[in-house]
């Protein structure tokens, strides 16, 4: 099997490395040798062992009948979409790690692949090296999946862990995550939560079989989390985790990405560093947890290459994926319910006038008051908190 890799960055070079490290095992499992014939990139790589395979025009790959599988690790929607579409239409199978592409164009590309009797697979687009797309698509098909919630971004989990354990500075720890190859090219997508937002949109689309638009999901990142919040978290026996969640409610879904204060006893509290943890609840399965390396060169490349192996084994069979372009209207997040941890400069009397009875939290922080609320809708919380001087608020998990 001759393949092409589009994008020779962190993940693309990881794919080449995984194919080299585990060459024989991969050949045995796939049933034939897998060889990289082309690498598409804008750059040249003088001195790189793959230098002679570099091409700059995607049409060379489209027009080569020897290429059966194409790996897309370029990132971004365009030109990745144009290239991937052309590959599928030319009868080539495509494996991608690109969640931006999958979240925006997944349903359409799945349909094009089916029309042409090939496969479009995207295991690496969610959870890095953790299998979660294939389990949802192939293993948990007897269930109505009622809830998925998890830590879906390795960079921010790494940052929050370092900020909690070492009191590390936000910028320094972000730089460290970038150097380790965890972060997106533009890390805004990580720290503002856009990356896990796309990932929960992909998982919810797979669960409901319709298009969930990530733009419809309420999304907060970790940019507002301060060392003082972490000090309070410790005083409460909790940790701050950026959660992406999706819950079935009636015929629709309630989705959200936001930092939560989880009790230390919560299973996702033990998910630290770059690890991701994904909790799934099915109506007949009950609970399942998926845990492992959520970002980084080789773990992500491992998932891409596993897709390649699967595609070698299904060269003339389209593996059905239930994700249609029809839009799923999500429930307005303002109707979802949470309890909140609140920091304010207002007096207790004003707090109680707005919220009624609350539980105050002591963490030795001067000049402010902190408390937790009862469970209420987001809308109610907005109305009540508008009556006090808010410093910060974090939802309780
Ligand atoms: N930037 C992403 C993360 C990479 O940190 O999780 C894996 O999708």
pLDDT of amino acid 352:
98
* CATH number of 2-128+297-313, picked from 3.40.50.720, 1.10.443.10, 3.40.50.1820, 2.60.120.10: 3.40.50.720
Q: Pick the atom of ligand 1 nearest to 184's CA.
A: 1
Q: Where are the domains of the chain?
A: 2-128+297-313, 134-292, 333-396
Which of left, alpha, beta for 127 (phi over 0: left; psi -120 to 50: alpha)?
Answer: left
336 Cα: distance to centroid of ligand 1 (angstroms)? 27
Q: How far apart (Å, rounded) are the C-alpha atoms in residues 134 and 121? A: 9
Reported pTM: 0.97
31 Cα: distance to centroid of ligand 1 (angstroms)? 31
**Cα 279–285–287 angle (5° rounding)?**
25
* CATH number of 333-396, picked from 3.30.70.260, 3.40.50.280, 3.40.1710.10, 3.30.1330.80: 3.30.70.260
Task: Give the pLDDT mean for 51-77.
Answer: 98
User: Is the Cβ atom of 294 under 6 angstroms away from ligand 1?
Assistant: yes
pLDDT of amino acid 97:
98
292 Cα: distance to centroid of ligand 1 (angstroms)? 13
For 209-260, write each residue's pLDDT tens digit: 999 999 999 999 999 999 999 999 999 999 999 999 999 999 999 999 999 9
Percent of the chain with pLDDT over 90: 99
Contacts of 375 (CB under 8 A, 6+ apart): 337, 338, 339
Q: Pick the atom of ligand 1 nearest to 189's CA.
A: 1
Q: Cβ(217)–Cβ(200) under 8 Å? A: yes
For 167-226, write each residue's pLDDT tens digit: 999 999 999 999 999 999 899 999 999 999 999 999 999 999 999 999 999 999 999 999
User: Is the Cβ atom of 321 under 6 angstroms away from ligand 1?
Assistant: no
Burial bucket for residue 312 (CB in 10 Å: 0-12, 13-18, 19+) = buried
For 266-287, write each residue's pLDDT tens digit: 999 999 999 999 999 999 999 9
Alpha helices per DSSP H over 95-226 = 99-115, 133-134, 154-166, 170-179, 188-191, 194-208
Q: How far apart (Å, rounded) are the C-alpha atoms in residues 397 and 308? A: 38
Active site residues: 199
CATH superfamily of 134-292: Dihydrodipicolinate Reductase; domain 2 (3.30.360.10)
User: Is the Cβ atom of 7 under 6 angstroms away from ligand 1?
Assistant: no
178's tokens = 């970038």
Residue-averaged pLDDT of the chain = 97
243's tokens = 């959660």
For 78-132, write each residue's pLDDT tens digit: 999 999 999 999 999 999 999 999 999 999 999 999 999 999 999 999 999 999 9
Task: Give the pLDDT mean for 40-62.
Answer: 98
Q: Cβ(312)–Cβ(121) under 8 Å? A: no
pLDDT of amino acid 140:
97
């Amino acid at each position: 099997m001759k393949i092409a890799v589009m994008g020779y960055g962190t993940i693309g070079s990881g794919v080449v490395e995984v194919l080299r490290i585990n060459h024989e095992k991969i050949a045995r499992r796939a049933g034939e040798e897998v060889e990289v014939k082309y690498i598409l990139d804008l750059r040249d790589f003088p001195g790189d062992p793959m230098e002679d395979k570099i091409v700059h025009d995607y049409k060379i790959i489209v027009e080569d009948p020897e290429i059966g599988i194409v790996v897309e690790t370029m990132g971004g929607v365009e030109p990745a979409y144009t290239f991937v579409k052309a590959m599928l239409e030319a009868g080539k199978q495509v494996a991608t790690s690109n969640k931006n592409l999958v979240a925006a164009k997944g349903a359409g590309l799945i349909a094009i692949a089916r029309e042409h009797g090939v496969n479009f697979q995207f295991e690496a687009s969610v959870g890095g090296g953790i299998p979660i797309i294939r389990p949802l698509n192939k293993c948990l098909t007897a269930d109505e999946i009622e809830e998925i919630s998890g830590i879906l971004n390795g960079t921010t989990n790494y940052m929050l862990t370092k900020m909690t354990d070492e009191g590390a500075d936000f910028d320094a720890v972000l730089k460290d995550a970038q150097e380790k190859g965890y972060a997106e090219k533009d890390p805004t997508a990580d720290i503002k939560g856009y990356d896990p937002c796309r990932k929960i949109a992909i998982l919810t689309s797979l669960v409901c079989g319709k298009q969930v638009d990530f733009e419809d999901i309420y999304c907060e990142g970790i940019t507002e989390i301060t060392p003082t919040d972490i000090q309070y978290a410790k005083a409460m026996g909790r940790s701050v985790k950026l959660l992406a969640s999706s819950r079935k409610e009636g015929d629709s879904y309630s989705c959200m990405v936001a930092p939560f204060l989880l009790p230390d006893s919560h299973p996702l509290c033990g998910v630290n560093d770059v690890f991701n943890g994904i909790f799934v609840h099915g109506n007949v399965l009950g609970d399942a947890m998926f845990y492992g390396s959520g970002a980084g060169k080789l773990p992500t490349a491992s998932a891409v290459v596993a897709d390649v192996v699967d595609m070698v084994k299904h060269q003339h069979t389209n593996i059905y994926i239930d994700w249609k372009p029809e839009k799923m209207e999500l429930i307005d997040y303002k109707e979802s319910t949470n309890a909140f941890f609140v920091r304010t400069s207002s007096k207790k009397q004003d707090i109680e006038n707005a919220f009624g009875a609350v539980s105050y939290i002591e963490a030795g922080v001067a000049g402010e008051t902190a408390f937790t609320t009862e469970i209420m809708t987001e809308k109610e919380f907005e109305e009540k908190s508008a009556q006090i001087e808010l410093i910060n608020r974090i939802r309780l998990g």
